[in-house]
């Protein structure tokens, strides 16, 4: 694999499984040292860190719930201290609680906003203190920011749509410092949270131009592009990877 990210230092939230784990592995494969957070299942996190180290880079896993701002900041600071700075931030941690508006628990609303939106801001605010010109910040949003074709997803869609505005504003704040800020919006991706062999998946495939689920590695490839030197003129953008779900 091309070592475009040699000597870069990355911090990824929610990196122990699914899209986050694929991002950790891809960045490591391109030469970046990678630290990442997880909430539960330390064995999975250890496996991801071990796989990254096998690619010849430094890697470490840290337990930190995105809803806990102090834990998020602590993980950022630990990464900067261990690696000597941060060049790439990927806010990948997310939750998806679905329910009709009449039955939607307020605690699920609060946690969705805390993890999907506030944690991204908290991590960004902490990380930019350790970033120099050439820094890269990437949010993992969702194509549901643009299209929510089924009931029960209003709060999730709201949280991901808010990321779009956050990215645009942060791009303005940080552009003069040479730091880019972008948003990757996956569509249906085969993960343990959204398996491709279910009745729900069959319904989604009917809404897509390319009638298959994407893979976490395909999302990670887009993140790797935004992390690298070729994307220096891309900022404030939302790049959709959804098989034509929103076409």
Query: Which residues are the active-site residues?
Result: 156
Contact (Cβ atoms closer than 8 angstroms) between residue 4 and residue 54: no
Contact (Cβ atoms closer than 8 angstroms) between residue 14 and residue 72: no
Instruction: Report the alpha-carbon distance of residue 86 to residue 80 in Å, rounded.
Output: 6
Distances (CA, A) of 108 to 66, 102, 182, 185: 14, 13, 26, 22
CB count in 10 Å sphere of residue 22: 23
Q: What is the three-class DSSP state of 85?
A: coil
Q: Is 221 exposed, middle or buried (0-12, 13-18, 19+ CB in 10 A)?
A: middle
Sheet of 59-63: strand order equals 59-63, 33-38, 9-13, 88-91, 136-140, 180-186, 238-241
Instruction: Report the alpha-carbon distance of residue 116 to residue 91 in Å, rounded.
Output: 9
User: Which residues on adjacent β-strands are paired with residue 88?
Assistant: 10, 136
Instruction: Report the alpha-carbon distance of residue 156 to residue 161 in Å, rounded.
Output: 9
């Amino acid at each position: 694999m091309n070592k475009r990210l040699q000597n870069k230092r990355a911090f990824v939230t929610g990196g122990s499984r699914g899209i986050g784990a694929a991002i950790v592995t891809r960045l490591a494969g391109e030469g970046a040292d990678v630290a990442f957070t997880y909430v539960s299942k330390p064995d999975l996190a250890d496996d991801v860190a071990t796989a990254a180290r096998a690619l010849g880079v430094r890697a470490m896993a840290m337990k930190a719930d995105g809803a806990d701002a102090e834990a998020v900041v602590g993980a950022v600071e630990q990464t900067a201290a261990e690696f000597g700075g941060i060049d790439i931030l990927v806010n990948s941690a997310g939750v998806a609680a679905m329910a009709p508006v009449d039955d939607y628990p307020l605690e699920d609303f609060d946690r969705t906003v805390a993890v999907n939106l506030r944690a991204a801001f908290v991590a960004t605010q902490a990380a930019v203190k350790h970033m120099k010109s050439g820094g890269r910040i990437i949010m993992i949003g969702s194509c549901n920011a643009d299209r929510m074709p089924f009931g029960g997803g209003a709060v999730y869609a709201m949280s991901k749509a808010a990321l779009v505005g956050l990215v645009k504003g942060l791009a303005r704040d940080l552009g003069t410092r040479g730091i880019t800020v972008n948003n990757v919006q996956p569509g249906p991706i085969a993960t343990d949270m959204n398996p491709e062999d279910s009745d729900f998946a069959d319904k989604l495939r009917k809404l897509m131009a390319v009638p298959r689920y994407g893979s976490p590695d395909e999302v990670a490839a887009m993140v790797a592009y935004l992390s690298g030197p070729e994307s220096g003129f891309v900022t404030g953008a939302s790049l959709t990877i959804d098989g034509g779900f929103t076409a």
